[in-house]
């Protein structure tokens, strides 16, 4: 599914990732751990093609990011920790998402309602004016409404209320997600203890822990 070979990346003259080699298989639920500055976000940006590696390679479903970025990313949904300042209204955002993400607007609204957010009541509001929790619910709803093979969540429950966190765990644990690959960056270990099947810890740009497990410990 995702193959990373000998990946190095430096930013502003500082090496952030060094010799990262990983293979993430279909259906794995992977939690990336590490202190701030360990390289987690940089690695995700390399997976999304936002950063070009200094050396090494990344491929998704056999498509190398360096030469086939569109094909590699077509089946990936990503929810960032900090929502972008999108100026679209919710109606406009849903229409845009449905066109480029091949997802149903009705499905997005249904999923947001499951999170306790009535999108129709806010359809004329600009996305960037919503609260942090509302933005996160909308972006997660868009992600779950797409037909993709890989989901990447950066601190997915950071701004969610208790109901939202419960709903997120329920969606991740649903039977239809069993064959989906999910990558988390999260410090809320207890919330994902019964979800993740693999823990990968980074420190100073290197993998220092990689284990398959049914439980998570700090």
pLDDT at 214: 57
Phi, psi at 71, each rounded to 5°: -65, -40
Confidence of residue 191 (pLDDT cuts 50, 70, 90): confident
Average pLDDT, the chain: 92
Confidence of residue 53 (pLDDT cuts 50, 70, 90): very high
Is this model's pTM higher than 0.75 or not?
Answer: yes
Task: Give the strand pairing for 2-11 and 29-33.
Answer: unpaired
- The arithmetic mean of pLDDT across residues 155-159, rounded, is 87
- Alpha carbon distance 153, 83 (integer Å): 12
- Alpha carbon distance 2, 149 (integer Å): 11
Neighbouring CB atoms inside 10 A of 84's CB total 10
Angle at 122 between CA 119 and CA 123, to 5 degrees: 80
Q: At what angle do helices 162-172 and 132-145 cross, to 10 degrees?
A: 10
Q: What percent of the chain has pLDDT over 70?
A: 97
pLDDT digits (tens, 9 = 90+) for 97-138: 999 878 999 999 999 999 999 999 999 999 999 999 999 999
Q: What is the dihedral of CA 99, 103, 105, 107, to 10 degrees?
A: 180
pLDDT at 130: 96
pLDDT of residue 217 exceeding 90:
no
pLDDT of residue 189 exceeding 90:
no
pLDDT of residue 218 exceeding 70:
no
pLDDT of residue 141 exceeding 70:
yes
Nearest-CA neighbor of 94 among 116, 129, 133, 125?
Answer: 125
Task: Give the strand pairing for 206-212 and 198-203.
Answer: antiparallel
- The arithmetic mean of pLDDT across residues 42-51, rounded, is 93
pLDDT of residue 2 exceeding 60:
yes
Nearest-CA neighbor of 161 among 189, 191, 120?
Answer: 191
Q: What percent of the chain has pLDDT over 90?
A: 80
Long-range CB pairs of 146-149, under 8 A, 24+ apart, other chains included: 146/77, 146/101, 146/102, 146/103, 147/102, 147/103, 148/75, 148/76, 148/77, 148/180, 149/1, 149/26, 149/61, 149/75, 149/76, 149/180, 149/181
């Amino acid at each position: 599914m995702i193959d990373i070979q000998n990946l190095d990346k430096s930013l502003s003259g500082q090496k952030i990732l060094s010799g990262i080699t990983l293979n993430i298989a279909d259906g794995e639920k992977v939690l990336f751990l590490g202190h701030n500055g360990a390289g987690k976000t940089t690695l995700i940006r390399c997976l999304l093609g936002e950063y070009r590696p200094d050396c090494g390679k990344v491929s998704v479903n056999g498509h190398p990011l360096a030469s086939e970025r569109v094909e590699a990313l077509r089946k990936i949904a990503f929810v960032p920790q900090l929502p972008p300042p999108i100026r679209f209204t919710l109606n406009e955002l849903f229409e845009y998402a449905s066109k480029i993400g091949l997802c149903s607007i009705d499905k997005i609204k249904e999923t947001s309602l499951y999170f306790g957010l009535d999108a129709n009541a806010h359809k004329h509001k600009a996305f960037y004016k919503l609260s942090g929790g509302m933005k996160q619910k909308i972006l997660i709803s868009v992600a779950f409404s797409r037909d993709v093979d890989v989901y990447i969540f950066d601190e997915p429950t950071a701004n969610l209320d208790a109901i939202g966190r419960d709903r997120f765990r329920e969606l991740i644990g649903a039977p239809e997600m069993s064959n989906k690959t999910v990558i988390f960056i999260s410090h809320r270990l207890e919330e994902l203890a019964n979800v993740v099947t693999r823990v990968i810890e980074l420190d100073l740009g290197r993998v220092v822990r990689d284990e398959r497990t049914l439980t998570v410990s700090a």
